[in-house]
Structure 1
Amino acid sequence: MDELARAGRTSGAPTVRGPRLSASWQRSHSYGAPTDRVDPVFIGTVGDDSLFFRCGQEVLGGLQETLANEPVSLMLTDEAGHVLSRACHDRTLVDALDRSYLAPGFAFSEREAGTNGLGLALADRAPSLVRGEEHYCTGLWNYTCAAVPVTDPVHGRLLGSVNLTTWSRKSANLLLALAQTAAGHTSALMLSRGHGLRPHPTPRGEVFRVNTAARPDSPSPQLSPDWETALAEVQCALAAGRSVGVVGERGAGKTALLSAALCRAHPRDRILNARPPEPRDTEPWLTLWTPELGKGNTSVIAAGVDALPSWAATELAEIVTTRARRPITVTAREATAIPEALSRIVDTVVEIPPLRRRPDDILALAEHFGTRARNRRVRFTPKAARTLRTYHWPDNVAQLRRVVREAANRSDVVDTRHLPPEVLCGPTRTLTRIETVERDEIVRCLAEPGTTVTRAAEILGMSRATIYRKISQYGIRTPR
């Protein structure tokens, strides 16, 4: 490792400390990142209209005021390492950062700039501190960088990072703590601005067996050609001994598709589904289930590999290459998000369309989920079926399952009044909590049998003009 750490450097370059930095140097070396100069990619104008950008700017603006007399640069980057913004009162530091191209519009991931604070934080999805000569590129040796990744508080997707940079000779004891505080405040502010949206549950790294046996009273639903085509493609790849990655939106049914294909390809196998953990829990999580890869009667689904730290993806790829008896299957939100180490061993990538592009699947899945919830057949009235088919399902099959289970627990014959307000409204802007309560009350009144818009206005104490305006404002689809 010392030889690699010194590759392309002058004599006397420091030994890299810690396994994360060592792994980052190895990746930087494999990427061909320059060691003697800073030469990042310039992408030009960056987007500034996202909730993440607005909230991050607000948080960093407040932090900058408390550091007014300190030579510290505060930066916001996107998930690919592109610098979105930079704030610093110290002119000398600003001029130096400009000469190093550590400025808005430039990319500073490990691939472009080698080991650096923000690149390591994004690669490992963990808070990172890189001091002076720990940087892979000598052009960054003058700096100490602390960076913390920021994830979407609702959906859990990596959005970017908060990065604090100062001179390498300065004390870095508080730098990482400040970056962690700023990242936490950004997530909290995003959740607050989301007006009551539920936070994404903390990933726990569950590993469990997938039960693929169909119950006699709940046979598998007959789904659309889009689903069957994707299923046949995965099954064909597995039969040929190829590793498969299934990509698509969250909740679209990626694991279900792989489970069905694995069950057909290897009907006697047990199937383990390993969901990614928090970055700090990754090592014990890998230790827990990777020995199963060496068993001939076990198939493994590594779900959400796009959330794995780079070092974990590299280790997993090595284990699969040297020990796996069966081809591993993985899921991710898109093909380009599969970590490079794993993408090299994934032979076939299949995309599953979101539920809104598979309208013929909606009622079949709804009846299936309803039957499983009630242990007997659940029917949907024409109005309820039409409502389900025309809703846009932002959280896909996972959301449909939840909605149907709640409705089926109220009745064996589901009507619009049994459905939650969220599916009776079209796409709209994010609502405040008060607006959400108002919308839900209007929907509840309109869903009652025989209730007209006029009658709902009377019940709610509104004029007819007001309730019609509210129906349009909230995108409420009135039952016919």
Structure 2
Amino acid sequence: MSEAHLPQRAQLRLQASWQRSQDYGVSVEEVDPLFAGTFDDESLFFECGREALAGLLVSLPGEPVSLMLTDPDGLVLSRVSGDPSLLRALDAVHLAPGFAYAERTVGTNGLGLALADRSPTLVRSAEHYALSLRGYTCAAVPVLDPATGRVEGCINLTTWSEQGGELLLALAQSAASTTSALMVARSSGGRSRPPARGHVFRVEAPRLEPGSGTVDALSPPWQDALAEAAGAARLGRGVVAVGETGAGRSTLLAQALRRVHPRGRVLAASPPAPQDSEAWLGLWTPELGKPDTAVLLRDADQLPTWVAEHVRDLVLRARVRAAATGAGSPTFALTSAGLDTLPAALVGLADAVVVVPPLRDRADDVMPLARHAARRARGREVAFTPSAENALRSCGWPGNVGQLIEEATRVATRTDVVDVRHLSADVLSGSTRRLSRIEAFERDEIVRVLARGGVSVQEAAAELGMSRATVYRKLAQYDIHLPRAGR
């Protein structure tokens, strides 16, 4: 790639992206994105982003620029341009609505890198990973939810490679700012976001597989389950990972399948709403049985009976074809809460059952996962004080890894050094019963006051308007665990 004109930070970002693209096994010849299916076209972000792009398009009559809106995973939601020839060229490389253009599927590109780094990004022709994209220059800017700071999606502008890039990036930043301003205005006006129509489903490459920055060097229970799954997959056996929701079933299988197919594709399909079942089957089943593709079916216990039966028939036919041609057995894996919850049609495909332990039984995994999530959220290393580490390790994590990732991501957006005072009351409280709104408020206030540090129970009682004995009783009632407070 051409680097002479790039600032050092931009060079490092591009180099890191190229390395990740290579680790993902992305083709350097041409892009092969996945068609992702339905999406929510009634969200506040989609409405405001489309309006911002329409306004920008008016100021660019006939210019060879395509303006796009994507979701947080790189799925192209809308695309407009005043240049039909550019649109036809973009269709040829699948940079079109309905296709996922994340970094992991097509390699280094503007919108993929902008979403990966949560930063405005300009990728010129030769800086693209895939050769088929080197005829374009792309500028992309993430759009954050003004209320939560969560990435809602991305504004992406693409033009021919010979066009200027700096102006393109400025235009993308302007459209992103307009989108955010519209979201703020409409949110403050009391307008609630309409619910999505049906379930938004995707067929995608799993996010937490080796090469994407995941953590696989975890505790012995995780390593044992991972080795078991990889061993079964290597023998061509159908593998089902069972365990609690959020324990990491899909992640474990994705890591196992990546061990077996280090340069192949690992596709993951999550159950759709019943009305989307036929379209969903059409998206991923053509990939079944391809020698360089492994298929992971998430939450298979949520499939309707007729869909499960159809999946079974497809897998069995793929196995028969493979046996007749001497090819390897199709690599197929699925996740479920338990073997007893699988639809009867799929039980016969589960040649090997791997149990994924919940996070509460893997305390040694808590801090590696927390640091990983915090680093991804903040873009740099985040430190944890000993008291914060103790609190995180002591938590029972009823929501498993998903809850831990959410907590670590939340605190990492606020500080470079996480202390116990930054942690939520849910982490510091061991109560497993459902609290009323009043109880939850009371618990949160007690945690807020005592977590400041240097506050004695007597001082906390005075601030909370309680007696010292009541504070102690409430600490026991809500099972609140804090660093040793002054008496």
Query: Residue 364 of structure 1: SS of its match in structure 2?
Result: helix
Larger radius of gyration: 1
Is 1:358 the counterpart of 2:362 in the alignment?
A: yes
Where does residue 264 of structure 1 map in the other structure?
Answer: 259
Match of 2:205 among 209, 215, 218: 209
- Distance (Å, rounded) in 1 between the aligned partners of 2:266 and 2:419: 37
Q: Structure 2 length as normaliser, TM-score?
A: 0.55
Deviations 1:207-226 (A, max 9, x none): 212253535xx563521110
- Distance (Å, rounded) in 2 between the aligned partners of 1:347 and 1:469: 52
What letter corresponds to residue 307 of structure 2 in structure 1? A
- Distance (Å, rounded) in 2 between the aligned partners of 1:283 and 1:221: 35
Deviations 1:397-419 (A, max 9, x none): 00000000111111121111111
Cα contact 2:202–2:270 (8 A) shared by 1: yes
Where does residue 337 of structure 2 map in the other structure?
Answer: 333
Query: Residue 331 of structure 2: SS of its match in structure 1?
Result: coil
Cα contact 2:384–2:418 (8 A) shared by 1: yes
Where does residue 438 of structure 1 map in the other structure?
Answer: 442
Sort the Cα spacing of 1:220 and 1:478 in 2 relative to 1 into closer, same or farther, 3 A.
closer
Structure 1 residue 275: Cα displacement: 0.7
Structure 1 residue 274: Cα displacement: 0.6
Structure 1 residue 378: Cα displacement: 1.6
Deviations 1:154-179 (A, max 9, x none): xxxxxxxxxxxxxxxxxxxxxxxxxx
Match of 1:410 among 414, 419, 436: 414
Deviations 1:190-213 (A, max 9, x none): xxxxxxxxx9x9743322122535
Where does residue 196 of structure 1 map in the other structure?
Answer: none
- Distance (Å, rounded) in 1 between the aligned partners of 2:198 and 2:388: 33
Is 1:305 the counterpart of 2:309 in the alignment?
A: no
What letter corresponds to residue 265 of structure 2 in structure 1? R
- Distance (Å, rounded) in 2 between the aligned partners of 1:221 and 1:251: 16
Deviations 1:17-76 (A, max 9, x none): xxxxxxxxxxxxxxxxxxxxxxxxxxxxxxxxxxxxxxxxxxxxxxxxxxxxxxxxxxxx
What letter corresponds to residue 224 of structure 1 in structure 2? S
Where does residue 273 of structure 2 map in the other structure?
Answer: 278
Structure 1 residue 430: Cα displacement: 1.1
Sort the Cα spacing of 1:219 and 1:398 in 2 relative to 1 into closer, same or farther, 3 A.
closer
**Counterparts of residues 428-467 of structure 1 (less than 5 Å):** 428-467=432-471
Cα contact 1:210–1:270 (8 A) shared by 2: no
Q: CA RMSD in A?
A: 2.1
- Distance (Å, rounded) in 1 between the aligned partners of 2:289 and 2:239: 18
**Counterparts of residues 115-134 of structure 1 (less than 5 Å):** none
**Counterparts of residues 179-190 of structure 1 (less than 5 Å):** none
Cα contact 2:293–2:331 (8 A) shared by 1: no
Deviations 1:442-461 (A, max 9, x none): 10111102112111111112
Structure 2 unmatched runs, 5+: 1-194, 320-328
Sort the Cα spacing of 1:394 and 1:339 in 2 relative to 1 into closer, same or farther, 3 A.
same
The 4+ residue runs of structure 1 with deviation greater than 4 A are none
- Distance (Å, rounded) in 2 between the aligned partners of 1:396 and 1:263: 23
What letter corresponds to residue 214 of structure 1 in structure 2? G
Cα contact 1:221–1:365 (8 A) shared by 2: no
Structure 1 residue 373: Cα displacement: 1.5
Q: Percent identity?
A: 48
Aligned residues: 280
Match of 2:386 among 382, 389, 401: 382
Structure 1 residue 473: Cα displacement: 1.4
Cα contact 2:267–2:295 (8 A) shared by 1: yes
Query: Residue 301 of structure 1: SS of its match in structure 2?
Result: strand
Match of 2:227 among 219, 227, 232: 232
Sort the Cα spacing of 1:202 and 1:399 in 2 relative to 1 into closer, same or farther, 3 A.
farther
Match of 1:245 among 240, 249, 253: 240
Structure 1 residue 431: Cα displacement: 0.9
Deviations 1:131-174 (A, max 9, x none): xxxxxxxxxxxxxxxxxxxxxxxxxxxxxxxxxxxxxxxxxxxx
Cα contact 1:274–1:302 (8 A) shared by 2: yes
What letter corresponds to residue 398 of structure 1 in structure 2? G
Cα contact 2:215–2:368 (8 A) shared by 1: no
- Distance (Å, rounded) in 2 between the aligned partners of 1:463 and 1:385: 30
